[in-house]
Amino acid sequence: MSDNVPKSSLPSEVDEISFLDLWRVLWNRRYVICGLCIIVVLVAMVFTINRPKHFEATTSLLPARESGFRPDFWRLRTESPGTEVLMAMLKSRVMVDEVVKQYNLIERYQVSTIDEANHVLKSRTTIKKTKENVLSIMVKDSEAQMASDIANFYALNLDRINRTFNVKKISQDREFLEKRLQGNLQEIAKAENALVAFQTKNNIMVDPRFPAMILTAAGIQGQITAQEVQIRMLDRDLSPDDPALVRAQSILKGLQRQLSILESGEKDQGLLSSIEGRLNPALVLPNLALEYGRILRQLIVQETLHILLTSQYEQAKLAEARDTPTFQVLDFATPPSNPKQPSLILAMLLSGVAALFIGIFLAFFLEYLKKKSDQ
C-alpha cells in the first residue's frame, strides 16, 4: 500500500514562469538597466560632439550635348563621353594621383606613400550618377575650403584629361590623312603623265564627249578608296562588332557592288565591254581603247580621292583646333557652412535602445547567477 501515493503529493517538475515573474526580475534590476542606459547615452553624446568635423562639398556635371552639323565620322571621333566613361576617368589612378600631388595630400593626411594617400582620398570621395544623368562629385574634408577646392579640381582636371585624349586621337588621324594626301598628289601626277604620254604616243586627243559612265565609275572608285581610309582609322579604336565600323564596312561593300555592276554589268554589257564604241573614233583598236579608258579612269579616281581626302583633312584640322568643353558644370562646389556629421539626437536614441536591450539581458543573467548561488 505504500506504493499507492497520490499524484498530487508528488513535487512538480515543471516551473511555470509568468509575465509577472519576468517583470519582477526587471523591476529588481531597474537601477542596473537605467544606469547602463544613462551611461551609454552620455558616452555616445560626448563622442558625437567631440568627433572630428567633416565638411562635404559637391560639384555637379552633365555630359556635353553635341550642337551644330558635323559629319558622322568626325562626330564619332570628337563626341563627348557618356556618364559612365566620365565616372571611370574620375576614379582612375591618373586622376587620383594628380589630386594628391596638387594639394600635397600625403602630408595633409599624414601618410608616408602616395598609395596610402590615394586610399584615404577615395574613402572621402563619392562619385555617383542621378536618374537625370547628372554626375555628382562629393568630397569630405576637415576644412570647408579644401573640400570645395578638391571637388572643383576633379571637374577641371577631368576636362583637361579628356581633351588631351581627344586631341591626341584626332592628331593621329590628321597625320595619317596628311601622309595619305601627299601620296595621292603623287598618284595624280603619275596618272596625268601617263595620260599625256599615251596621247602623245598614239597621236590622239581627249574627246570632250567622253561618256559619263567612265566618270561615274571613277567617282565610285574614289569613294571606295576614301571609305577604306576611313575604315582604317576607325579600326584602330573600335571593336570589330561596333555599329559605326559595321556601318562603314556595309557602305564600302555597297560601293564595291555598284562598281562591279557598272564595269561588268549583266551578260558583259558593262563599261569595259562597251568602252570601244564609246571612245573617240580615233581609238579604233580594242587594246588602245581599253588602255585609254583605264588611264583616264585612274586619273579621275585619284582626283575624286583628292577631293574627299582634302575634305576630311580640313575637318580633322578643325576638330583638332576645337575648344568645346567635353561636359558642362552645372554647379561648382562652394565651401559648406555646416559640417557633415551624424545627428546628435539620432546617435543618442540608437545608443539608448542598444543599451536597453543589453541591460535587460544583464538583468536576467544576474538573476540567474543569484539563484545558482542560493542553491
Q: What is the pTM of this model?
A: 0.51
Q: What's the pLDDT tens digit per position in 79-90? A: 445 678 788 888
| Type of residue at 23 | W
- In terms of average pLDDT, the best of 22-26, 48-52, 309-313, 355-359 is 355-359
Is residue 98 predicted with pLDDT exceeding 60? yes
Contact yes or no for 302/187 (Cβ under 8 A): yes
Count CA atoms within 13 Å of residue 21 on its CB side: 6
CA triplet 229, 235, 241: central angle to 5 degrees? 130
Q: What's the pLDDT tens digit per position in 142-152? A: 888 999 999 99
pLDDT-derived band of residue 119, with 50, 70 and 90 as boundaries? Answer: very high
Q: What's the pLDDT tens digit per position in 43-63? A: 888 887 777 678 889 999 887
Amino acid 97: pLDDT: 92
30: Cβ contacts below 8 Å, ≥ 6 apart: none
Amino acid 64: pLDDT: 67
Is residue 68 predicted with pLDDT exceeding 60? no
Is residue 262 classed exposed, middle or buried when 0-12, 13-18 and 19+ CB atoms within 10 A define those classes?
middle
Chain centroid, CA 94 distance in Å: 15
Helix (H) or strand (E) holding 56, with range, is strand 55-63
Strands 135-141 and 55-63: antiparallel
